[in-house]
Homo-oligomer: A and B are copies of this chain.
Amino acid sequence: MIETPYLLFLGDAHDQLAAKVAQGIKDWRPEFALGQLRLPGCKADMRLPDMTLAEAREAGAKTLVIGVANRGGVISETWKAELHTALEQGFDLASGLHNLLRDEADLVETARRHGRKLHDVRIPSVKYPIANGVRRTGKRCLAVGTDCSVGKMYTALAMDREMRERGLKSTFRATGQTGILITGDGVPLDAVIADFMAGSIEYLTPDNDPDHWDLIEGQGSLFHLSYSGVTLALIHGGQPDALILCHEPTREHMRGLPGFALPTLEELRVAALSMAQIANPACQVVGISINTQHLSDEDALDYVAGVEKSMGLPTVDPFRHGAGRLVDALSAI
């Protein structure tokens, strides 16, 4: 569990996209994002107050989150002075980079000396159990995609926000590095040992109030050869009551797999529902989330309306049009 609120470290980000972790935190947990810390040459701006480390500590920040990725996912030497000073001033550090904080001997030493924590969310910090399949109380919703990176995380976050605004009980359950940094907790599923994947999701989504919904962040796709096993472990560990189908209509082939076409939404519905019903025979597909970022306003509305008609399910782009109708669909079951 990473202590909040955060100061977001944007480093020397070469463009706005390089700071997408910071952007995710600012978009989805603005109450965690007290300010930003930028080094000379930084091209990203979250439109948050620029703060020094001392100002952020004064304002209550507990953790300096590395909200930027440079090429190769390494911890840049040009960042080091600020990172050391942060530890000295009482910040913990959190990072989702491939290059682990704990592999930097100098940071480890400074953290030790000042009694601070280094959170590497890329790798598990928990010894997860093997899944036992026992039904838990409370309800769970999982976003599944025709491909990787089609908007599953944003769909779950948008539904979570909508549910909170309505006063409903919900928790976004992060299963990837960005999601974990956004919320401060979760399972880095792609780094879990095979035998414990489904168990890690049972661990992540324990017994809860009967009217509470876990909104589980999806990973990969049943149709993506590289990561499908991760997706199935999510489905069987999560035992979802509801599935949301996610799709990005301009994708020409499966991400990173030229020659492999995307499935249709109908193919995804059949495959995901049949797999989910092994774990939970009552599972239903309740809605569809379309990532329309590459479509014009008019094309987006047309596309969404066409899918809604052909699939017979509430269909929206939750980022563009709001997640209200998906939450309505959840609330109906």
- A residues within 8 Å of B by Cβ? 130-133, 189-195, 197-199, 222-223, 225-234, 236-237, 239, 254, 256-257, 259-260, 263, 271, 274-275, 278-279
Q: Is the CB–CB distance between B232 and A229 below 8 Å?
A: yes
Q: Which residues of B contact A197 (CB under 8 A)?
A: 194, 229-230
The minimal Cβ–Cβ distance linking A275 to chain B, given in whole angstroms, is 7
The minimal Cβ–Cβ distance linking A23 to chain B, given in whole angstroms, is 24
Partner of A191, one of B189, B194, B226, B231: B194
The minimal Cβ–Cβ distance linking A155 to chain B, given in whole angstroms, is 21
Q: A190, A227, A260: which has the most chain B beta carbons within 10 Å?
A: A227
Q: Is the CB–CB distance between B230 and A195 below 8 Å?
A: yes
Q: Is the CB–CB distance between B225 and A131 below 8 Å?
A: yes
User: Apart from A195-B230, A225-B236, A225-B279, what 16 extra A-B contacts exist at CB < 8 Å?
Assistant: A132-B226, A189-B194, A191-B195, A192-B193, A193-B193, A195-B226, A198-B225, A198-B227, A198-B228, A222-B278, A223-B278, A228-B232, A228-B275, A229-B231, A229-B232, A263-B278
Partner of A194, one of B194, B260, B274, B275: B194
The minimal Cβ–Cβ distance linking A10 to chain B, given in whole angstroms, is 27
Q: A133, A199, A239: which has the most chain B beta carbons within 10 Å?
A: A133
Bound complex: CA A215 to CA B228 (Å): 22
Bound complex: CA A192 to CA B225 (Å): 16
Bound complex: CA A141 to CA B8 (Å): 51
Q: Is the CB–CB distance between B226 and A131 below 8 Å?
A: yes
Q: Which residues of B contact A222 (CB under 8 A)?
A: 232, 275, 278
Q: A197, A232, A263, A279: which has the most chain B beta carbons within 10 Å?
A: A232
Q: Which residues of B contact A237 (CB under 8 A)?
A: 225
Bound complex: CA A133 to CA B253 (Å): 12
Q: Which residues of B contact A194 (CB under 8 A)?
A: 189-194, 197, 229-230, 233
Q: Is the CB–CB distance between B191 and A259 below 8 Å?
A: no
Q: A191-B193, A193-B192, A274-B271 are in contact. Are A229 and B198 (CB under 8 A)?
A: yes
Bound complex: CA A333 to CA B228 (Å): 27
Bound complex: CA A168 to CA B77 (Å): 58
Bound complex: CA A278 to CA B191 (Å): 24
